[in-house]
């Protein structure tokens, strides 16, 4: 299956390479780069929009967040309070995840420690990290990875200590075991139960995808990474939509139309992403293959086209 984020990553990488150059040097740098012409055109359009807009386009698109400094580097082997960090086990858009163990002889426990990734606007992402801590602390559900502890390192890098989930992404778990449709649906119902619980607590995940939906060996589903979730605040007590005005952190292949357009999001955003996950579990592929598309064309396809029914997509691939 084609990586649904490949096209965006190519644009992101080239954008990062030239965005900080003086304006007069960017055209020459783009022309000299060996990236595909379609990628160069997209980056040129993004640069033009950035120069003409009072809003920092790289922040709005989630581009250019990384710098040469990575607070997570050298984390393995360190001690954070009672926790001994052992090894890095994953890395995402918001941070790195490490395996750790309690090392103060009080009791034995294996945990996951999550730290901030390299960032330009560290203050903004630190606020998001603190927000994730508050969100996780409010969520207690058997299908949501629980928060255990949290704090800051000596240099001010925030971290969370979470339940360690030893599992596989839900699509890989199903495919490795060749699970029939009924068993795939049973797992998906666990996902829905967790999301429903979060929504009742006015929390939208915003990045539901297989890598954030893990399944343990005994078939228990665990939702992880509420790093880009945001409390739904409504003065009238309703679950009002929240407009994202900063980083647009999501995975394109699973993103809803309102996400890729940068519009207000609500619980419906997660419902759409759940539909994409279910489509993948049933059909073995995403409803829209946007991996090789430009960002503009990917947005058009997600927003304007209707995918084939999962049964038809599955039969076409058979």
Confidence of residue 68 (pLDDT cuts 50, 70, 90): very low
pLDDT at residue 241 tops 50: no
The CATH number, out of the four listed (3.30.200.20, 3.40.50.720, 1.10.1660.10, 1.10.260.40), of the domain defined by the range 79-163:
3.30.200.20
pLDDT at residue 40 tops 70: yes
Looking at residue 300, its pLDDT comes to: 87
Looking at residue 26, its pLDDT comes to: 78
Both structure tokens of 119: 């960032």
- Flag the least confident range among 1-15, 84-98, 188-202, 207-221: 1-15
Looking at residue 158, its pLDDT comes to: 77
- CATH 3.30.200.20 in the chain is located at 79-163
Q: Are 132 and 160 in contact (CB under 8 A)?
A: yes
Looking at residue 39, its pLDDT comes to: 80
Percent with pLDDT over 70 in the chain: 72
CA atoms within 13 A on the CB side of 277: 30
Looking at residue 188, its pLDDT comes to: 98
Best-predicted range by mean pLDDT among 196-200, 259-263, 294-298, 314-318?
196-200
pLDDT at residue 59 tops 90: no
Alpha carbon distance, N-terminus to C-terminus of the chain? 14
Q: Which helix (H) or strand (E) holds 85?
A: strand 83-91
Q: Average pLDDT, stretch 116-122?
A: 55
Q: Average pLDDT, stretch 78-83?
A: 89
Q: Sheet of 213-216: strands edge to edge?
A: 167-169, 213-216, 221-223
- Pairing of β 213-216 and β 221-223: antiparallel
Looking at residue 70, its pLDDT comes to: 52
The SS3 assignment for 99 reads: strand
Q: Which residues contact 298 (CB under 8 A, 6 or more apart)?
A: 7, 8, 252, 260, 288, 290
The widest CA-to-CA distance across the chain, in whole angstroms, is 61
Which of 39, 50, 206, 16 lies closest to 119 in space, CA to CA? 16
What value does the mean pLDDT of the chain take?
A: 77
Q: Which residues contact 293 (CB under 8 A, 6 or more apart)?
A: 7, 301
Separation between Cα atoms, residue 15 and residue 128, nearest integer Å? 24
pLDDT at residue 202 tops 80: yes
The SS3 assignment for 84 reads: strand
Confidence of residue 35 (pLDDT cuts 50, 70, 90): confident
Q: Which helix (H) or strand (E) holds 90?
A: strand 83-91
- Flag the least confident range among 5-14, 174-183, 189-198, 231-240: 231-240
The SS3 assignment for 300 reads: helix
Both structure tokens of 183: 């068993």
Percent with pLDDT over 90 in the chain: 30
- CATH 1.10.510.10 in the chain is located at 167-317
Question: Quick check: is 207 catalytic?
Answer: yes
Looking at residue 168, its pLDDT comes to: 95
Separation between Cα atoms, residue 4 and residue 93, nearest integer Å? 15
The SS3 assignment for 248 reads: coil
Looking at residue 252, its pLDDT comes to: 77
Point out the catalytic residue in the list 3, 20, 207, 316.
207
Both structure tokens of 133: 């801590």
Q: Write down the architecture of domain 167-317 according to CATH.
A: Orthogonal Bundle (1.10)
Confidence of residue 38 (pLDDT cuts 50, 70, 90): confident
Handedness of CA 199, 205, 209, 212 (dihedral sign): negative
Separation between Cα atoms, residue 120 and residue 35, nearest integer Å? 25
Looking at residue 6, its pLDDT comes to: 55
pLDDT at residue 308 tops 90: no
pLDDT at residue 231 tops 70: no
């Amino acid at each position: 299956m084609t990586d649904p984020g490949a096209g965006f990553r190519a644009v992101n990488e080239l954008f990062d390479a030239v965005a900080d150059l003086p304006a007069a040097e960017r055209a020459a740098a783009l022309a000299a780069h060996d990236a595909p012409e379609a990628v160069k055109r997209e980056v040129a359009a993004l640069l033009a929009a950035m120069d003409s807009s009072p809003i920092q386009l790289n922040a709005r698109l989630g581009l250019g967040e990384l710098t040469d400094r990575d607070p997570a580097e050298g984390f393995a082997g360190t001690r954070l309070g009672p926790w001994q960090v052992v090894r890095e086990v994953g890395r995402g858009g918001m941070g790195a995840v490490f395996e750790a163990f309690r090392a103060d002889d009080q009791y034995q426990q294996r945990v996951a420690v999550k730290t901030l990734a390299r960032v330009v606007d560290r203050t903004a992402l630190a606020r998001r990290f603190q927000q994730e801590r508050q969100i996780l602390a409010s969520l207690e559900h058997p299908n949501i990875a629980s928060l255990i502890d949290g704090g800051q390192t000596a240099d001010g890098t925030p971290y969370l200590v979470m339940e360690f989930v030893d599992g596989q992404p839900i699509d890989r778990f199903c495919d490795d075991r060749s699970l029939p449709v009924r068993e795939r649906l049973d797992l998906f119902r666990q996902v829905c139960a967790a999301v429903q619980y979060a929504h009742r607590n006015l929390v939208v995940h915003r990045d539901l995808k297989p890598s954030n939906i893990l399944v343990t060996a005994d078939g228990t589903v665990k939702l992880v990474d509420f790093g880009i979730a945001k409390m739904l605040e409504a003065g009238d007590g309703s679950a009002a939509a929240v407009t994202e005005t900063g980083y647009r952190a999501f995975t394109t292949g699973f993103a809803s139309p309102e996400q890729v357009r940068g519009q207000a999001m609500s619980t419906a955003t997660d419902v759409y992403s759940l539909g994409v996950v279910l489509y993948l579990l049933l059909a073995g592929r995403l409803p829209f293959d946007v991996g090789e598309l430009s960002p503009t064309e990917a947005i058009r396809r997600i927003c304007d086209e209707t995918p084939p029914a999962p049964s038809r997509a599955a039969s076409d691939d058979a």
